[in-house]
Structure 1
Amino acid sequence: MLRTLVCAMAMTVASLAGDPARAADLPHIVILATGGTIAGAADPRSGLGYNAGAISADALIASVPGISAHARLSAEQISAIGSQDMSEEVWLKLAARIDALDKTADVAGIVITHGTDTLEETALFLDLATRTDKPVVLVGAMRPATAVSADGPRNLLEAVMVAASPQARGRGALVVLNDTIHGARDVTKTDTVSVQTFRSPNFGPVGGVSPDRVVFYAAPASRQSFPSKGGPLPQVEIVYAYAGVDARPVEAARAAGARGIVLAGVGDGNASKATIAALQAAAKAGVVVVRSSRTGAGPVLRNIELNDDELGFVAAAFYNPAKARVLLQLLLANGVTAPDKVQAAFLPTP
């Protein structure tokens, strides 16, 4: 398979060299590779085993027939990891590179190859932490590059098509898989193996990709911006609610130095009396507490099951726990700590 990818890469380069005038007219898309299943190679440990990030960005590009008809491509390897190992360090590298490419006139858009497990968190971070109007498109795959019917090549082609589309400008970070375009705020992984794993449960997808065109269903939505500042992000922990949970997870988060705690609550962002009491004590001590829900869809709104005004909590609205953590980290990094100001960021006035 790797030999086939290398041969295909040579053919792609040759086709571009054969028609330099046509290539010069195409938009320049930069691919920032981080690893993930889309760059995975088979491993003999099991019939379905693979190692994430084993194939280079250039080889990925070379594996996609016809991709050179849509854009002039260049690739940079930011990391080569599975997305379960995605870190704030890589996030900051990506944000810095996007900011630099935003200032590069020749670059029309950016594609980021990424594992699917934490793709939604990276997408939201980049949506909030960068300000470029150029398309930033994250793409992954559920099957490794060496698998039968690998979905990565098609997904990468569609991601390039979206990044090259003028309609994608000003929409913030987008996620493209399986012919579907999602916005960073709502998209989430919903299935362990299905190629249709990514869905936007509250607002639906923002567009789609067919073999010959990119279609968006509505005008770009308004965006918030909270720059990363380039330094380490404040520590925010997620506390998961379950039957029988007590105060210990909250106390452990505080002991570890958390400046913020996100509750992955049952139902409408609720938890046991012991957990809520511990969270209230944390809020009184200056820790920012955000109530979210583990259910997967629907909003957590203020003062429904709990009195947020009295407890000093913030309601996460439509942000799931993992995304609520990302937004809270960026708010804290920008000095936004007052509960009313944090609440305004989670549920901004239209």
Structure 2
Amino acid sequence: MTLPRVQILALGGTIATAPDASGAMQMGLGADDLVAAVPLLATLADIRAETVSRVGSHSLSFDQIHALAAKIMDLDVDGVVVTQGTDTLEETSFLLDLLVERDIPVIVTAAMRNPALTSPDGPGNLLAAVRVACDPWMKAHAKALGVVAVMLDEVYAAADVQKVHPTRFNAFASPQTGPLAALVEDRLVPLSLPVRAPVEAARKRLGKASEGREQPVALLWLGLDEPGYILEAMIDHRDQLGYRGVVLGAMGGGHVPERVASLVGQLGEIIPTVVAPRAGGGPLLRQTYGGPSSEIALRKAGLLWGGRLNPLKARVLLETCLRAGLDRAAIAEVFETFG
């Protein structure tokens, strides 16, 4: 029997750490080490392993993920598994989903418990990811599913997965949709299919975004009684700061404190500014509340609406749009597809 060819691309992260002399966990393990820790992989697939980097995911860059996407597009394999840290997995997986269009499974996985702890989850997550990559249902629906994350025997859509706890073992979830599938024994049990139209529409507009230059995007979280000093600085010193776009983590269904509403409007006039729900995702309101800081007023002022994307994912999408050279109107159209 010919086994499916699965490429493992290791980026680093907790899954690839080892203790130094002091006991502190340091980056160091490569793809071959990860594969060697899971002998069962050899019974599932023809494994090819490559170490792409050895860094924590908190230090990954947009450029690195664009390069990774290009590599995945060129691979002649039946499935791809990316291992990395959990800190930015919800962002990197979504960016890969925007950039990679393949009819093979592309899976991102990681670990919450480092290899020095009792019952580390890295080997199990890697085994689960390869099982998912080899599953007939996954292969048949790979294009419809897009890039997925596999953690603790559950499969999540890249556009929806979130890290919902900084340290807990079961730190990942898709609060809006739930998992797409679950591994039970040696079976993958399908549960749902994701809404793919927004990502597919975005891909058509983004074109060759990987050929563009880095476009720094600021992420500002708005809270109770925000005075707006950072907003003022961004308006007055835009060129010196160097940001090309802004994402605002807004309150409720798309609201900002009234005392900063005029500043938000000014910022939206000079730089593409996206409003996204700080609540963690879910469609924003469009035409319910009145007043200068409401969703109606902000939309009339030219603020871009993030739809169901949380601020982290909205920032990924905005940076990709800017890198692709899209103007404000085109960026608005891309975000509109996300609800």
Bucket of the pairwise TM-score, normalised by the shorter protein: 0.7 to 0.9
Distance 2:233 2:316 in 1: 20
- CA offset digits 1:195-245 (Å, max 9, x no partner): 211000111111111231222223464242134333323221111112232
Pair 1:26 & 2:41 matched: no
C-alpha RMSD of the superposition: 2.0
* Residue aligning to 2:291: none
1:209 matched residue in structure 2: 183
1:158-237, aligned counterparts within 5 Å? 158-168=128-138, 169-170=142-143, 171-219=145-193, 221-222=195-196, 223-224=199-200, 225=203, 226=206, 227-237=208-218
The code of the aligned residue for 2:277 comes to S
* SS of aligned partner of 2:9: strand
Residues 349 and 120 of structure 1, relative CA distance in 2, 3 Å threshold: closer
Q: Which residue of 2 aligns with 1:142?
A: 112
Contact kept, 8 Å, 1:78 with 1:90, in 2: the verdict is no
State which of 301, 316, 334 in structure 2 corresponds to 1:345.
334
| TM superposition shift of 1:157 | 0.4
Residue 258 of structure 1 deviates from its aligned partner by 1.9
Give the secondary structure class of the aligned counterpart of 2:42.
helix
1:288 matched residue in structure 2: 272
Runs of 4+ in structure 1 displaced over 6 angstroms? none
Q: Is the 8 A contact 2:180 2:193 kept in 1?
A: no
Mind listing any 5+ residue stretches in structure 1 that lack a counterpart? 1-21
Superposed, 1:68-107 pairs within 5 Å as 68-101=42-75, 104=76, 107=77
Unpaired runs of 5+ residues, structure 2, are: 289-293
Give how far 1:297 is off: 4.0
Deviates more, 1:206-215 or 1:302-311: 302-311
Matching residue of 1:306: 295
In 2: Cα distance, 1:217 partner to 1:144 partner: 30
Query: In 2, Cα distance between the equivalents of 1:110 and 1:251?
Result: 45
Name the SS of the counterpart of 1:277 in structure 2.
helix
Q: Provide the residue aligned with 2:12 in structure 1.
A: 35
The superposition leaves residues 37-74 of structure 1 with CA deviations (integer Å, 9 ceiling, x where unpaired) of: 0111134656xx422x3211101111013111111111
CA contact (8 A) 1:120 1:187 kept: yes
Residues of 1 paired with 2:227 and 2:21: CA distance? Answer: 43
Q: Secondary structure at the residue paired with 1:149?
A: coil
Alignment of 1:231-246 (within 5 A): 231-246=212-227
Structure 1 counterpart of 2:316, which letter?
V
Q: Measured at CA, do residues 251 and 71 of structure 1 come closer, stay the same or move farther in structure 2, by a change above 3 Å?
A: farther
Q: How much identity, in percent, do the aligned residues show?
A: 35
Residue identity in the other structure for 2:304: V
Structure 2: distance between partners of 1:303 and 1:234: 31
Which residue of 1 is the match for residue 314 of structure 2? 324
Residues 165-222 of structure 1: per-residue CA shift (max 9 Å, x gap): 2432112110001010000011000112212110001111111112312222234642
Q: Could you tell me which residue of structure 1 aligns to residue 241 of structure 2?
A: 256
Amino acid at match of 2:137: Q
Structure 1 pair 179/264, CA: closer, same or farther in 2 (3 Å)? same
For residues 51-70 of structure 1, what are the structure 2 equivalents within 5 Å?
51=26, 53-70=27-44
CA distance in 2, matches of 1:164, 1:248: 52
Q: Which residue of 2 aligns with 1:121?
A: 91
Aligned to 1:269: 254
Aligned letter for 1:26? L
1:155/1:179 contact within 8 Å kept: yes
Retained in 1: the 8 A contact 2:218–2:243? Answer: yes
Distance 1:66 1:89, change over 3 A: same
Number of residues of Structure 1 aligned to a counterpart in Structure 2: 318
In the alignment, residue 322 of structure 2 is paired with which amino acid? L
Query: SS of 1:79's equivalent?
Result: coil
Contact 2:287 2:295 in 1 (8 A): yes
Structure 2 length-normalised TM: 0.87
Offset, 1:142: 0.2
Structure 1: distance between partners of 2:71 and 2:232 = 38
TM-score by length of structure 1 reads 0.85
Equivalent in 95, 103, 112 of residue 133 of structure 1: 103
**Preserved contact between residue 238 and residue 264 of structure 1 (Cα < 8 Å):** yes
User: Which residue type is aligned with residue 41 of structure 2?
Assistant: I
